[in-house]
Structure 1
Amino acid sequence: MDISKNYFDDDNPRYRLSDFDYKLPEKLIAQYPLEERDKCRLMVLNRETRDIQHLIFRDIVEFFQPGDCLVLNNTRVFSARLLGKKDKTGAKVEVFLLRNLENGIWEVMVKPARKVRLGNKIIFSDTFYCDIIDNTVSGGRIIEIHCNGDFLEELDKVGKTPLPPYIKREAEEKDKQYYQTVYAKETGAVAAPTAGLHFTEELLEQIRNKGVKIAFLTLHVGLGTFRPVQVDDISRHQMHSEYYKVPEEAAHIINETREQGKDIFAVGTTCVRVLETVADRNGKMRACEGWTDKFIYPPYQFRMVDHLITNFHLPQSTLLMLTSAFAGHEFLMEAYKVAVKEKYRFFSYGDSMLIL
């Protein structure tokens, strides 16, 4: 596909926050995933013809051609939500792990924040506790974690899956499996790259058998992915920063795909942001790692992505803005109206969209 084509609907598009709003009945927000990942619905948008198709996710295989490349984010969600008690008073405290600063030292959010002070000790289990050692400018805390045994193993025992705020229930044990892609490998995300939740091992094998190459990169999704945009002029929004890594193998596969004139399918907005961050002016990738705060909104000229696989996103969210930049604003918002009418399931545990 010619990715140099602009799919914008306006000669002079300048969008405000309200342009990315839509009405969504609460009952369409998926609270649980389907038992079979690849049985969710798939809405297919064709930017050339402006056609909309309604399929099942496993039908996605038919859209790949030999030599195409599927780009996946292999970040792994860890059990970032900890429920504990102050050692002296027994008062309940929630600690949400945000970022590992160094060995045992973490930046966190705490609730209730006004009652958690420097010097407090929070007990999570007989073998797992933390000390509050500093405050952050954003109202969070810096903690030092103490545990017996392997940190991630202990964390998996005492921590809970950090489900998004629009899932109005407590995390259950099975969420540790469901809120994780089947190819998750690199631990570090506090939110799943949800576009990838629909893939099964069998479906990925079918895609490989068509001669499609799979490239794995990493972007550790941060809590900022749920942070609302608070300025009407969206160009003034400051995106949160997230760690990414592009391995040598992934860069080679993607560059080879480009050189052969084949298409790149990006799974999720996280993959898009990494690809567009790293690619040079000629659309070349290189092996690297770093932090990106790239904010993609209309109008934007994509360099690396031919097709996008994504979920249905929150109104006024940066994820919806990126998707709008790719699909064309008017077409995407029309598609969302259709999705509501056809009772698609929305957000992390919901249905999928393929934009051609």
Structure 2
Amino acid sequence: MSMQDFIVAIGVVVNAIPGGLYALTFGFASVPTAAGFIIGAIGCGALGIVAPISFQAETLTLVGTMGRTVQERISMVFLEGAILLIVGLAGMFKALVAFIGPVITNAMMAGVGIILAKVAVEMTVRNPRVGSVSIITAVMSYYLTPNPADKLIYAIISCVAVSSLVSVWLKRHRQVAVAPVRERFVLQKLSFTKNVIRGALGLSALNVGANIAFGNITAQTLAKTEVNLDHLTIISSIADIVSSLFGGAPVQAIISATGAAPHPVAAGVLMMVIMAVILAAGLLVKIGRYVPNESIAGFLLVLGAVVTVPVNASLAFAGGVGSVDTIIGGVAMTVTAIADPFMGMVAGLLVKALISMFGL
């Protein structure tokens, strides 16, 4: 391991901290989440996976908005982990991806981008000053950063830092509501209501797309290698199961700069170990007392409206206006944005089946 590996790992840790703060706003406990990062470090190190796991804005946004209580949210994460663990262990991931198809997968991701942007707007309406500063800072940082690989990193760091300082100056910041009793390893009571099952299916559909997109970008684009998506799915699923059992947040595949490090596997493992130490020490909760929930609004808007929607929609609608793929993708994206990724996937598959049945 080189000094460059260490520097890159620290950079990704800095990028992950705002995501952790975002998780706290939905009631997830930080200390138990350390177990998820440890599992990720062991799994990626043992299997040679270059794509690490961490806090993922898309998953956090979906589970946070679909789950009405903390119990529902951790139950959704647990059930999603169980579902995808079976898929990964059975080696079904490639078959599942082929069955869904790239058009529906990209359309679902575009729909999730709309959800992210919607949450950013809602945050800004709730706290106009902090939310507006966050959005302006994130947009400026994104477009002024010359290196494409650094754009999202600088966007999230700058918008959280600047909007938090403005919040303190205005004396309007609110402490993150974290119950101290939950910041330890205590088994949580799970529930499996209709809403939990629906949310778990939505999370599963989302993370099928996220593992394909984020896992392959980190591996193929940055590390110039391949990634076993079944192994990545197994690691993130076990991490989610263990973390949620104790009230922790989901940790999923991300686009990680560690893929570009001289030793990408070692850099990714180091990043996850450092995050585990920060979480286990309770440092994230202390930071959260001074960072308003709405400070991440800018990053969510940029990630959703500027990055996720244009990139994935262009891939989903590559067939052009009026084509069969465009019709299928349009339905999948719209239903995902209105309901959830699982419903979007089902809607897209139904339209695809109907078109095939009638030979259109």
Report the TM range for the smaller structure's normalisation: under 0.3
| TM superposition score normalised by structure 2 | 0.24
More strand by share: 1
More helix by share: 2
Tell me which of the two structures has the higher relative contact order, counting C-alpha pairs closer than 8 angstroms and 6 or more residues apart: 2
